[in-house]
Amino acid sequence: MNNNNRQHALHVLRDHVNHTHTAVHNAIIDLRRNDEIGDEKILRPFMNHYDSMVVAATLYTLFKVQDQRDALRPLIERIVTNGDEREYDDMDHPIQCTAITLLADFGKHDSAAVASILEIAENHITPETPRKRAWQKLAELYGMEWPLHATEEMILRPESEASEGIRSDVRHAMAMDKSN
């Protein structure tokens, strides 16, 4: 543990209004790497931050590092399904993509989580980046290697034959898993 990094991160987070959102985001990452029990109390307020990258980093840290999985599940499911209003103009949708990634952790043992991810993946109204993330997580859950070109193809050309082929391959992997 690097106490200097932790102390600097705590300083930035305590005085976050006087720091850029990038500095706040980086402080959350530094705190994640130098975590202590009880950090969730420091991090929770950043779930309401205006910057989507700060919120995504906070959500990930609370889930993965601070072990707030069960407490966060309803929020994660809401974000996966409805997105987050802070991201309407953000092509990357980091909050929704992070929520999809975290829900996929439940999907290893929970068919309802997989069904939620599949619903987002199949929904043509879902923005391209979170939709791609949903397909990618489904591929991982069903042991399919994600093709190198898939990310670019599915985000930039979601209706292309190549994108449909990737979706078809994922559906096939899912069907094969169910038949076993």
State whether 4 and 62 are in the same domain: yes
State whether 7 and 62 are in the same domain: yes
State whether 48 and 110 are in the same domain: no
Residue 101 forms part of a structural domain: yes
Residue 76 forms part of a structural domain: no
Residue 170 forms part of a structural domain: yes
Query: In 34-110, which residue ranges form alpha helices assigned H by DSSP?
Result: 39-43, 52-60, 69-82, 94-107
Q: What sign for the dihedral angle of Cα 72, 75, 80, 83?
A: negative
Last residue of a domain, one of 67, 82, 112: 67
Residues of the chain with pLDDT under 70: 1, 180
Residue 82 forms part of a structural domain: no
Query: What is the pTM for the complete model shown?
Result: 0.92
Q: What is the pLDDT of residue 88?
A: 73
Residue 78 forms part of a structural domain: no
Residue 49 forms part of a structural domain: yes
State whether 62 and 135 are in the same domain: no
- The answer for residues whose C-beta is within 8 angstroms of residue 100's C-beta and 6 or more apart is 80, 117, 120, 130, 133, 134, 137
Last residue of a domain, one of 67, 86, 114: 67
pLDDT digits over 83-122, tens only? Answer: 888 887 778 999 999 999 999 999 989 999 999 999 999 9
Buried b (16+ CB within 10 A) or exposed e, 39-75: bbebbeebeebebbbbbbbbbbbbbeebebeeebbeb
Judged by phi (left if over 0) then psi (alpha if -120 to 50, else beta), residue 90 lies in beta
State whether 180 and 101 are in the same domain: yes
State whether 149 and 100 are in the same domain: yes
Q: What is the pLDDT of residue 58?
A: 96
Q: Which domain holds residue 49?
A: 1-67
State whether 113 and 51 are in the same domain: no
Q: How far apart are CA 35 and CA 41, in angstroms?
A: 12
Residue 142 forms part of a structural domain: yes
State whether 103 and 163 are in the same domain: yes
State whether 104 and 63 are in the same domain: no
State whether 180 and 126 are in the same domain: yes
Q: How far apart are CA 21 and CA 167, in angstroms?
A: 36
State whether 125 and 170 are in the same domain: yes
Estimate to the nearest angstrom the gap between the alpha carbon of 101 and the chain centroid. Answer: 4
If one counts the domains in the chain, the total is 2
State whether 101 and 155 are in the same domain: yes
Residue 89 forms part of a structural domain: no
